[in-house]
Each structure stands twice: as structure tokens, then as C-alpha cells.
Amino acid sequence: VVLGTESVVNYTPMNELDYGTLLCWSNNSIGVQDHPCVFQIVAAGKPDPPHNCRVFDVTISSLQVTCLAGDDGGLMQKFMLQVYQIGAMSPVVEVTRSTPSYSVANLRPATAYKIIIAAINEKGTS
């Protein structure tokens, strides 16, 4: 569709074979475009997990943790931190944020914990 000085295409992949490279050319009274516009159509998927996590500023009852985000799978992602007391089935802390960086407080001294950080988007959890 031509909208003034803009051309728009609506493309909806219907199956796995519809993903890949989409090329487009334009032409007008002056001539035809020499090299096409190239678009890579990629299926959205689950995000990659955060990586290079670092724990710092550890005290007897608190800590800071930060990670680098992995690939978002082509969709907006958020990050969930869960802190489990070793042996417990449910988290003592669960926080979701837009970046993988957290401050965790009110931990019990002399207690072992497990920390899980995951990325989440509309397609699932890393």
C-alpha cells in the first residue's frame, strides 16, 4: 500500500516456511530501485536466560545481584528473581522487574539460600 511518500506492507507468516528474507523494490517515473530493501522475518520465541550474574554487597541479611539480559526472543521481556531457603518448596522472595538487577533484604542470618533469575516473555520462560 502506498501512503503518500511511504509504502507499507502487512505480512503475516502463517507457518514455519513463511519466515526468512523478505525483499522489496520500488519504482517510479525516474526508474526502478537498484538494490532491494531486505527484511529478516524471524519467529518470536522464549527469551534466553540472563547470564553473567554477579552477587555483591553481601551482608548477613541482604545482597545485591545483577545479570546481563539474554536475547529477548523477539518480544518484550521481564525478569523474575526468586529466593528459596534451601529445602523449601516456595520462594521467600519473588520479584519481577524490567531489568535483571535486584536488591534483596530481610534475609535470615546463617541461612543458606538458592537464587533463581529467569527471563519471561509472551512465549514463555527461559
The distance in angstroms from the start CA to the end CA of the chain is 38
Predicted model pTM: 0.73
User: Residue 12, exposed/middle/buried by CB under 10 A (0-12, 13-18, 19+)?
Assistant: exposed
Look at residue 26 in the predicted model and tell me its pLDDT: 85
Residue 98: per-residue pLDDT: 98
**Mean pLDDT in each 10-residue stretch from start to end of the chain (126 residues)?**
86 89 89 92 93 96 97 95 96 97 96 96 96
Single-letter residue type at 43:
A
